[in-house]
Amino acid sequence: MTKNADVFHQEKAEIFLEGLKATPYQQIDDTGARVNGSNHYTQILCNPYYAAYFTVPNKSRENILDVLLCGKEKTYCFNNEAFDLMETFNVSQIWTEKLSSVKNKIFSDAEMRRKLDYLFSVNGYKTTKYS
């Protein structure tokens, strides 16, 4: 029913974005779903004012970020809050020092992956994992 009906997709996006703004919290849950014979997950996001459903191939962090960003490009920034969290969670001082070279710079998803690969490579071998 909604295939090739962009007006419905636009309306869903608008409702979802307004729902995200409606309260300082969101509830998220998921349930299994079959899509063309393959296992997927339906992510349910809601608060007292709305509920929105998104079917994604898996429950990865990346997919959840994509849902929450509602089609906007992911960007990354290591700001003061990020460094405070690294200290709270006892992230190695070596890693923190390496990341200080990118402090307060905004990177696209692809730029961040390249930067992390460069910062955390050992003799040219990739040592990072993102998902």
Mean pLDDT of 112-130: 72
Mean pLDDT of 77-83: 94
Residue 118, CA atoms < 13 Å, CB-side half-sphere: 9
Structure-model confidence comparison of residues 9 and 46, the more confident one: 46
Assess whether pLDDT exceeds 70 at residue 124.
Answer: no
pTM: 0.65
Q: Which residue has the tokens 């990354």?
A: 76
Q: Given 3-state DSSP classes, what are the helix, strand and coil percentages for the chain, each rounded to the nearest 5?
A: 45, 25, 30
Q: List CB contacts of 23: < 8 A, sequence separation 6 or more.
A: 47, 48, 49
